[in-house]
Amino acid sequence: MDLYPMMMDRYNNNSSTIIDKKFPNNNDNDNNNHNNNLIKNIKHKFNINKTLNTTKARVELVLIFVKVGQVDTVNERYQADIFLQARWREPLLDAMWNKTSLKSKSNWQTNPSIENPFTDLTSKRQLNTLKLQDDEFWNPRLLIDNAEGEPIEIVSHEVEFIEPDFEAYLVEKRRIKGIFHETLELRHFPFDCQDLSVTITCDRTTDEVELVASPTEVSQVDVRCAADSQEWKIFHHVDIKSIEIQTGYSPGTSKRHHPGLVFTSRSARRSGYFLVNMILISCVLCLLSFAAFSVPANENRLQLSLLLLLTTVTFKFAASQNLPKISYLTYLDKVVLVNFFMLVILTVWHAIARAVSSSKPKFLEYEHYVMYSLLSCYCIGSVLFGLTVYLDAGSRRRLMKRKDAEFNQYKQQIEAQKQHHSILSVSLEEWLSSPHNSITDNLLDKNDPLINNY
């Protein structure tokens, strides 16, 4: 765990106040020398352990997608409103029961219905004498790696006390609203299932901090608040992956490694719009091209085929406007291109038929075989395409549904486990201003394990 350099400044600035409260007025010089030496020894311990301390601070994270807004497929980004909670151990805030509140202690342990009785707790270390503010405690300095611009954040801090020893955990809660970058995988478009992720990292290195998923809280998606539910189906579960981010631009060092957690939610695109307005119409236009065989070869058959061909080209441009500039073909691209090439083949055949109809009239007697062959190939290809979509793109959706079912079971287990733990939670500002922290006692206690450890 990192140390508290700002606390040492307060030791120095308030040393006279501390001396007056710790020692009586007689023998002031001896007491001053003794207290100053003690401060120097503590400061020396802080400086040494700041260099030698190799213990990582364990920070537990939980992230909830409160609202998933518009997903911009072309620009590969999405809007979201998220809730991020970070929790880590804070020994400076450890508490204990007041000696005069043993009755309350018994009631709290035996009656979980009692509301947070933090008024019956007192701090083990006199925070009022330290005069620490809520922003002066150790902090992992969390960052959002894939946020675009400056997201809007509302930050608050709480203290959790865990029974029976009332060890303190500092909890940082953030409500974040912004735009997040996400590289979309569009091979299955418009039957795709996208990962919408938020990457949480910190300004500290992997030697200082370990970011882990919270074992007591569940990261999830609030599907009731999906703003774009007409276009996307939002799944409940959130996958969490631990990563390591390497930066080579940090001043004074060549490379630094920072811990990170990637919280990934899943959203399946509702393909009805693209099926009706693009794929269906493109296929109907291709099938209508076979009606040109009913027109004699020496008449306007070729003009009809060219008109349908140009219409298909228009559909290709319309489809490309819904996608970023990618170097591979999506399912929608493949459908439009297959229809396009089928029209090209039919146009070429009609041109050949018009050219030879006058010199070889018997050649056209076999034209119906060409029509049946091309139509059969097109129908078989359409069936194979439907099976591919079901087996390939559909398998990912079925996997997400299974993960949702597993997530619901896991969530029930976590909720059941939380019922067996007694956690006392209070605002950090309220706890620091509590009257139980105003008692002045031996601040520079040489037997304080926190001071000895540091």
Mean pLDDT score, 36-61: 56
User: What is the domain partition of the chain in residue ranges?
Assistant: 56-90+137-269, 272-399
Question: In this predicted model, which residue has the larger pLDDT, 117 or 148?
Answer: 148
- Which residue pairs, CB below 8 angstroms and at least 24 apart, start in 37-43? 38/444, 38/446, 39/11, 39/12, 39/15, 39/444, 42/8, 42/11, 42/444, 42/451, 42/454, 43/8, 43/11
- 271-295, pLDDT tens digit by residue? 999 999 889 999 999 999 999 888 8
Mean pLDDT score, 58-81: 93
Mean pLDDT score, 208-233: 87
Q: What is the 3-state secondary structure (H, E, C) of the chain?
A: CCCCHHHHHHHHHCHHHHHHHHCCCCCHHHHHHHHHHHHHHHHHHHHHHHHHCCCCEEEEEEEEEEEEEEEECCCCEEEEEEEEEEEEECHHHCEEECHHHHHHHHHHHHCCCCCCCHHHEEECCCHHHHCCCCCCCCCCCEEECCEEEEEEEEEEEEEEEECCCCEEEEEEEEEEEEEEECCCCCCCCCCCEEEEEEEEEECCCCCCEEEEECCCCCCEECHHHCCCCCCEEEEEEEEEEEEEEEECCCCCCCCEEEEEEEEEEEEEECCHHHHHHHHHHHHHHHHHHHHHHHCCCCCCHHHHHHHHHHHHHHHHHHHHCCCCCCCCCCHHHHHHHHHHHHHHHHHHHHHHHHHHCCCCHHHHHHHHHHHHHHHHHHHHHHHHHHHHHHHHHHHHHHHHHHHHHHHHHHHHHHHHHHCCCCEEEEEHHHHHCCHHHCCCCCCCCCCCHHHHHC
Whole-number Å distance between alpha carbons of 285 and 283:
5
Residues 121 and 95: beta-carbon distance below 8 Å: yes
Whole-number Å distance between alpha carbons of 400 and 10:
53
Residue 345, pLDDT above cutoff 90? yes
- 358-415, pLDDT tens digit by residue? 778 777 788 889 999 999 999 999 999 999 999 999 999 999 999 999 999 999 999 8
In order of 32, 34, 122, 182, the CA distances from 42 in angstroms are 15, 12, 24, 48
Residue 451, pLDDT above cutoff 70? no
Mean pLDDT score, 118-124: 59
pLDDT winner (highest mean) among 24-33, 351-360, 368-377: 368-377
Residues 256 and 314: beta-carbon distance below 8 Å: no
pLDDT winner (highest mean) among 28-37, 218-227, 249-258: 218-227
- 143-170, pLDDT tens digit by residue? 999 999 899 999 998 888 877 777 888 9
Q: What percent of the chain is predicted at pLDDT more than 70?
A: 70
Residue with tokens 């350099």: 5
Q: Please determine whether the domains at 56-90+137-269 and 272-399 fall in the same fold group of CATH.
A: no
Q: Round the average pLDDT of the chain to a whole number and report it.
A: 78
Q: How many residues does the chain have?
A: 454
What's the pLDDT at 10?
38
Whole-number Å distance between alpha carbons of 254 and 245:
14
- Name the pLDDT band for 193 (thresholds 50, 70, 90): very high
Whole-number Å distance between alpha carbons of 123 and 46:
22
CA nearest neighbour of 69 among 238, 265, 213 = 265
Mean pLDDT score, 240-269: 83
Residue 118, pLDDT above cutoff 70? no
In order of 278, 287, 288, 375, the CA distances from 313 in angstroms are 12, 16, 16, 21
Residue 5, pLDDT above cutoff 50? no
Does 2.70.170.10 match the CATH number of domain 56-90+137-269? yes
Residues 223 and 175: beta-carbon distance below 8 Å: no
Does 3.40.190.10 match the CATH number of domain 272-399? no
In order of 162, 191, 396, the CA distances from 389 in angstroms are 51, 8, 10
